């Protein structure tokens, strides 16, 4: 435990100064090796001899693991390459009177874990379950809602969306990202991927639309919608500027390692451990309140759950409620691209606090920047001669355009969002929101009256 705490302090120190572990670790290992050789060359020689001597044991495992993972990556790439994808543009109804609960119902219908049923499907054929990309894109200030998916899922997806929003207009469009003749000489790019806070379990939800009271369908004038802040940030661009948000998601099934399902649950286990820690902390406080009497201390400890603070009780309720909902594995990405002469650094600050509207007090989780992006290049040693910034700019654009997050051609550890959280981050704003550039159908579509007179032939 002490070693773990010391390692954590070292990591926090390096992270605070933005030293990359992938560069620092090899250097540290090399220095450690030199020190060991100088201090005890016999021990080093013996360790190397032992490693070579048992190589017939560990080399087959190493090669087997390498060949297996390489095959699975290749098979998944082939499967991904064979799929046809479509991008749907969703023009908002002139009046949106439903709460985000309607969008949550849509996501419940979208949750699907089929397509990778057997070991042969997952490992040999490289099949994986459907991946969706929920997007809000501002193209020179004009906002649009988009949904990227496999072509085979289009019909059923449209039916579910029309079921909740019958007056929306859904059309297949060309990819807006691919229309930009992106190159590093003419375009400047800034962006990042986002994750949940690592200090609390991911089962602790963000501040959702329920916390804002939108599940109760309040009067239009009284609605406070967290998506308004996101839309306003995206809309503040002009000619030759593009500001995009993307949530790539898939239904969560269970933890896996290259097609092999694991028993450990990285969503449930940390949540249970966190709840146990809260109750144990309350029990310890109860013991201290009871004083030195053994019976009184034991009785107080048994009532530990009842002695949780108000904030702790809200966290427990939120976690328990979150674990009853369907979960999506998600990757969140925000990218700002502009002609080099039009690039405005003010949007970098906006991206740092892009999701502040879903951040609350300590009973909520938060969404913030990760190390994957080019926003955090603050120190000179992070980016010599803009080499990393230019490389990451290319990656940001192509990963966004390819909707890459799971498996191939880009693989990252996802965050977990339940349907309520997902509906908070991506839903159709009500009619009271007048964000400039928000694309709505001009007028309500109504059927002709049934008693309309027939014109003479």
Report which of 385, 393, 391, 377 is spatially closest to residue 338, judged by C-alpha positions: 393
Q: Give the model confidence (pLDDT) of 308-360 as tens digits.
A: 888 888 999 999 999 999 999 999 999 999 999 999 999 999 999 999 999 98
Report the length, in residues, of the chain.
457
Nearest alpha-carbon partner for 143 in 444, 429, 443, 352: 429
Residue 271 burial (C-beta neighbours within 10 Å; 0-12, 13-18, 19+) = buried
pTM of the model: 0.87
Q: What is the CA radius of gyration of the chain?
A: 26
Measured CA to CA, the distance from residue 67 to residue 75 in angstroms comes to 12
Residue 221 predicted with pLDDT over 80: no
Q: pLDDT tens digit string along 244-287?
A: 999 999 999 999 999 999 988 999 999 999 999 988 888 777 76
Contact 87, 172 (CB under 8 A): yes
Cα of first residue to Cα of last residue in the chain, in angstroms, is 90
pLDDT for residue 331: 97
Quick one: tokens of 230? 């996101």
pLDDT above 90 for 68: yes
Please say if the pLDDT value at position 448 is more than 60. Answer: no
3-class secondary-structure state, position 179: coil
Q: What is the pLDDT of residue 6?
A: 62
Look at residue 173 and give its three-state secondary structure: strand
pLDDT score of 294: 56
Q: How many CB atoms lie within 10 A of CB 367?
A: 20
What are 77-133's pLDDT values in tens digits? 999 999 999 999 999 988 888 889 999 999 999 999 888 888 899 999 999 999 999
Task: Kindly give the interhelix angle for 310-322 and 268-290, rounded to the nearest 10 degrees.
Answer: 160
For residue 233, give the 3-state DSSP assignment: helix
What are the b/e assignments for 20-45, b being 16+ CB within 10 Å?
Answer: eeeeeeeeeeeeeeeeeeeeeeeeee
Q: How far apart are CA 299 and CA 95, in angstroms?
A: 58
Instruction: Please give the C-alpha separations between residue 444 and each of 95, 96, 97, 455, in angstroms, as whole numbers.
Output: 8, 11, 13, 25
pLDDT > 90 in the chain, percent: 60
Torsion sign over Cα 168, 174, 179, 182: positive
123-165 pLDDT, tens digit each: 999 999 999 999 999 999 999 999 999 999 999 999 999 999 9
The reported pLDDT for the residue numbered 405 is: 96
Pairing of strands 187-196, 367-373: antiparallel
Using CA atoms, how far residue 86 sits from 218, 339, 439, in Å, is: 36, 27, 20
**Does residue 456 have a pLDDT over 80?**
no
Would you say 224 and 209 are in contact if contact means Cβ atoms under 8 Å apart?
no
């Amino acid at each position: 435990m002490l070693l773990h705490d010391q390692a954590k302090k070292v990591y926090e120190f390096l992270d605070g100064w933005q030293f990359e572990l992938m560069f620092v670790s090899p250097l540290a290992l090399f220095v450690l090796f030199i020190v060991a050789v100088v201090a005890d060359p016999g021990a080093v020689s013996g360790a190397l001899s032992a490693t070579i001597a048992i190589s017939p044991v560990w080399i087959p495992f190493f090669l087997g693991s390498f060949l297996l993972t390489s095959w699975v990556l290749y098979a998944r790439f082939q499967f991904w390459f064979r799929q046809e994808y479509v991008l749907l543009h969703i023009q908002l109804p002139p009046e949106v009177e439903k709460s985000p609960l309607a969008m949550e119902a849509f996501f419940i219908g979208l949750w699907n874990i089929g397509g990778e049923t057997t070991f042969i499907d997952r490992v040999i054929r490289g099949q994986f379950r459907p991946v969706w990309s929920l997007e809000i894109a501002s193209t020179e200030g004009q906002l649009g809602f988009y949904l990227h998916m496999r072509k085979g899922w289009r019909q059923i997806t449209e039916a579910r969306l029309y079921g909740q929003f019958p007056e929306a207009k859904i059309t297949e469009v060309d990819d807006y990202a691919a229309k930009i003749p992106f190159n590093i000489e003419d375009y400047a790019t800034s962006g990042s991927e986002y994750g949940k806070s690592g200090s609390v379990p991911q089962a602790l939800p963000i501040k959702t639309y329920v916390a804002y009271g939108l599940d109760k369908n309040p009067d239009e004038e009284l609605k406070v919608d967290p998506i308004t802040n996101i839309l306003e940030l995206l809309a503040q661009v002009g000619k030759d500027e593009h500001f995009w948000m993307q949530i790539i998601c898939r239904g969560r099934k269970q933890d896996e390692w290259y097609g092999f399902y694991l028993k450990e649950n990285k969503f449930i286990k940390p949540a249970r451990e966190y709840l146990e820690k809260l109750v144990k902390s309350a029990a310890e406080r109860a013991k201290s309140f009871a004083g030195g009497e053994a019976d009184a201390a034991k009785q107080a400890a048994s009532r530990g759950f009842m002695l949780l603070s108000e904030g702790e009780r809200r966290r427990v309720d939120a976690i328990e409620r979150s674990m009853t909902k369907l979960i999506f594995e998600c990757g969140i990405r925000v990218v700002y691209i502009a002609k080099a002469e039009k690039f405005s650094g003010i949007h970098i600050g906006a991206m740092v606090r892009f999701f502040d509207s879903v951040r609350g007090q300590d009973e909520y989780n938060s969404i913030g920047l990760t190390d994957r992006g080019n926003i955090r290049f603050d120190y000179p040693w992070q980016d010599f001669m803009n080499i990393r910034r230019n490389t990451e700019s290319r990656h940001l654009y192509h990963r966004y355009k390819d909707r890459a997050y799971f498996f191939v051609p880009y693989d990252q550890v996802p965050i977990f969002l339940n349907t309520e959280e997902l509906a908070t981050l991506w839903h159709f704003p009500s009619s009271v929101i007048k964000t400039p550039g928000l694309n709505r159908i001009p007028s309500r579509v109504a059927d002709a009256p049934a008693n309309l007179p027939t014109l003479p032939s």
